[in-house]
Structures are given as structure tokens and as C-alpha cells.
Amino acid sequence: MISLHTTRVRRRRLGVAAAAAGLFATLLTAGPAVATPDPGDSPASEKISSGRAAEVKAAIQQGEIPGVDEIVHSDNIKHLANVPKDLITGTNSDLAFQGKYAFSGNYDGFRIFDISKPKSPKTVAQVLCPGSQNDISVSGDLLFLSTDSSRSDNSCTSAAQPATIKESWEGIKVFDISDIRNPKYVAAVETACGSHTNTLVPERKDVYVYVSSYSPSTTFPDCQPPHDGISIIKVPRKAPERAALVEFPNLFPDGGNPGAPTNPGVSATTGCHDITVLPSKDLAAGACMGDGIIFDIKNPERPRVIDRVQDNVNFAFWHSATFNQKANKVVFTDELGGGGAATCNDTIGPDKGADGIYDIVGKGDRRKLVFRSYFKIDRPQAETEVCVAHNGSLIPVKGRDIMVQAWYQGGISVWDFTNSSRPKEIAYFERGPVTTDRVTTAGPWSAYYYNGYIYSNDIAKGFDVLQLNDRRTDAAKKVRLDELNVQTQPDYFEDSRH
């Protein structure tokens, strides 16, 4: 058993409570990115009182939390590399992988790394294409970007423009990455309420893109209520320029969770935030604001809801989902505070803002989601640290349910939920607060396991590579994939090359 201790003693308390004529991308070669996209998850920057700032500083001095930017981790994790932001300086977002490349989303565009040597990742390309949050996926020669901020047009030189203007654009952008050093922007599809995230359902000749978006308004011409479903785009692999919207299935005929005042503190369901598909099982899980769902995707154009759950006590915003390998469990995350608040502290407690672990019981259309327990990191964070349950992936170990997960400034957690009722953390990595006097959004947006290493996109600090050495997870190092979009969850042992 490897002990979990840091470079300093940490106590378990904290005293601080394509415009039609202009589909092109800018490949950056020199100079800083100048375009500023609209925020999606509203990065926080809010000054706190001098008294609370003093408490944060005291907590650092007393060893209750790490110092500013100080790195601490468990003995079974090694920090191999950090690549700071370069020409694209916006908020780092999600990650995707293909072969020896990692694709890093950023509110200003995306960056491609060569990770053939994980200890020294090399930048291959940087593409300026503003439009938060630039959630990113790849399949074959195609790369997909989500635009969830209202823009003047669909080009990569667009400007921010109010969603109240009919001509404003939000949706999916498609790039050809057959020349990895020179991605080519080839298509754009507008979707209702934009695209906060995207999830691929690959078929042989086509790629289906499930587009999650939410928060309609009667004042938005292209985002009208009710908005109770997802947009489905079909992209022919050999003719991506023919990408088109094919369906908008209604997943919530009753309107979904009404939120407040019926359920105080809970987001009303007006769409989905994120979807994870398990193509090998024709199954998907949706994290949809006030609801968690599982649905059948045997016909990718006509997904069919199997079961739906709510947690009106401890969940505020259903954010993302992860299946275990056997597809008899799903972990839902709660984005308490919308990714802009300090929620990992004694005041909030261990259940709110946690992961919810659900067993999937029964077969076929009789499958049900049954709640088993919550998991939340128990390492206290400062009141200046935005901490929230965010994106993670399975670590492929046969017979075990283990995942790695990002928690913004709560860092990275590796945890075991093989026993659904008794999850436990087995490894961690984190940096200390960015500031001691201001609530600041920073830390890992995503933390994913790919071909033997953990890769993380830190919102502020850049691209991190970690190595996990633990007898409980070492078997995963033998699993090799050609491609990984975490929200298109693979059958790790069928899809592995070895």
C-alpha cells in the first residue's frame, strides 16, 4: 500500500469557511493571440475580504493547504512535464487523443501536441479560432470544435455579438487534420443555443455528433424555449463539407426538472450539458442540468430514454457522466457553483458538489439507475480556489472500477469505485492557490488516462503529464488505443491494440 502524503503535512480542516464566404482558420506562427472569446463557464475573478484573505495566508503558513502555486502529490504520482500556454492564451478546456497526438481545446482555439515522448511534449500546431468553450473531439481525419458563445459569423475571425441578434452564430466547426501541422477548416453547422459540448458516435461512413446546449431565452432568435433535447449532426467522412443537422430529439417531454422554486438550488433542465456514449453497448448517459439519464443509441439518429433520475438535495447541476467498463455503473458529476466558486471546504461539506455513483440494474428497457453513494475529495481548498467536480476518465484495469478526475483547483484525483457504496481516493496531484486575495478560476479542466499516462489541461498553467505507479493500476499500462475521445467511451479491452 502506497501512503498518501505530500511534501508538507496537510491537516483535514481549513479555517476558511463559417461565414458563407469565410471558412478559414488562423494558423499561428508568431505573436500573441489577440481575439478574446466570450466565457462559457464564466471564469471567476472576485476579490474577497481582507479578513478572509488573511485566513487563506494563515492556512498556508500552518500547512493546511499548499502555498501559492506549490505542487503537492501522493507518492504514487510523478509529475513528468508541464507545457505553459504559448500563442493561444485563453482558458484551456478539454482534451482528445489520436495516435501520438494530444489535442488541447482553448477558448481561443486549439493546440496540438506530439506526445510520443511524454516527458517532453512538443507543439505541432496552434490554431486561433475563438468561440468558447471549444470543446474538442477527433475521429479519423476530422476534428470537431464546439462554439458556445454568440459570434458575428462562423469564421475563425468572428467577433463577439449578442445572441439577441438573429444573424449571430453558434454551433459546431469541423476541421480536416489529415495534415496535422496545418489543420484546415472545412465546415460549420449552426445549432440551437450553440454547442457547449459535443460527443461523437462514429459509424463507418459517417460521424454523428451529439450536441449539448442549454439556457434558451425568448429574446434569442436561435435559442428559443422549450429546449428539451439535443442537436444531432451527421458528418460524411469523405465529404465533411456536407455536414448537416438531422434531428433534434426531445429527451424531456415533461420539460425536465423545474428547478426553483419547486426544487431550490437546483438548475431547471433546459437541455443537456454533456453526454457520454458507450457505442459497444449502444448506451449513453446524459448529464442534463437538473436530470441524469441513460438512453439507447442503437439508432444514433433516434436516441431513446431508458431511465432518468434527479437529486434535489445534493446536486445543483448535472455536469458529466462516466460508465464503468461493464456498463453496470455510471458516475455523474455535479458542477456546484457553475465552475466559478470555492466548493471544496468544510462549509459546503462532503455531499454537495460531489460525484454521484449509480448502479445500473436490470436489463434492456427495464434498466434503472440506483443511487449508491457520493465521492468528493476531502483535501480542503482555500476560499480563493475555484474547486468543482469536472472531467475524468476510466483507468482500464480489468475487474476494478478506477477513474482519474479533474477538480479545477482541487487538482487531480484517482479514485476507486469498485465498491459502489465505498469509493476511496488512491492518488492525487494538485497545485496551491493561484492567489490569496481573489477567487480565481484555475486548475485542471480535464484529467484523462491515455496509453499509460495521465494528461491534464490546466485552465491557467497549461498542459501537464503525470505518471501513475501503483500496483492497483499498473495493468492499465498495457492497454493501448489508437484514438480516445473520453465522451465516446471505448471498450478498452476490445479496442486495445494489444
| The residue type at 350 | P
Question: Please, are residues 109 and 33 in contact by the beta-carbon 8 Å criterion?
Answer: yes
pLDDT of residue 21: 39
Average pLDDT over residues 409-420: 98
235-248 confidence digits (pLDDT tens)? 999 999 999 999 99
User: How far does Cα 449 stand from its chain's mean position?
Assistant: 13
pLDDT of residue 6: 36
What dihedral angle (degrees, nearest 10) is formed by the CA atoms of 278, 280, 282, 286?
Answer: 0
Is residue 428's pLDDT more than 70?
A: yes
- Whole-number percent of the chain with pLDDT over 90: 83
Is residue 28's pLDDT more than 80?
A: no
43-87 confidence digits (pLDDT tens)? 566 777 878 878 888 888 888 889 999 999 999 999 999 999 999
Which three cell numbers, joined as nine digits, stand for 143?
A: 476534428
pLDDT of residue 32: 27
Pick the range with the lowest mean pLDDT from 6-10, 150-154, 472-476.
6-10
Q: Would the pTM count as exceeding 0.75?
A: yes
Average pLDDT over residues 307-312: 98
Q: What is the mean pLDDT of the chain?
A: 91
Average pLDDT over residues 112-138: 97
Question: Please, are residues 356 and 329 in contact by the beta-carbon 8 Å criterion?
Answer: no
Q: In what order do the strands lie in the sheet with 355-361?
A: 318-323, 329-334, 355-361, 368-375
Question: Please, are residues 443 and 407 in contact by the beta-carbon 8 Å criterion?
Answer: yes
Nearest by Cα to 231 from 211, 251, 216: 211
Is residue 42's pLDDT more than 70?
A: no
Nearest by Cα to 137 from 105, 179, 107, 170: 105
pLDDT of residue 14: 36
Average pLDDT over residues 165-180: 98
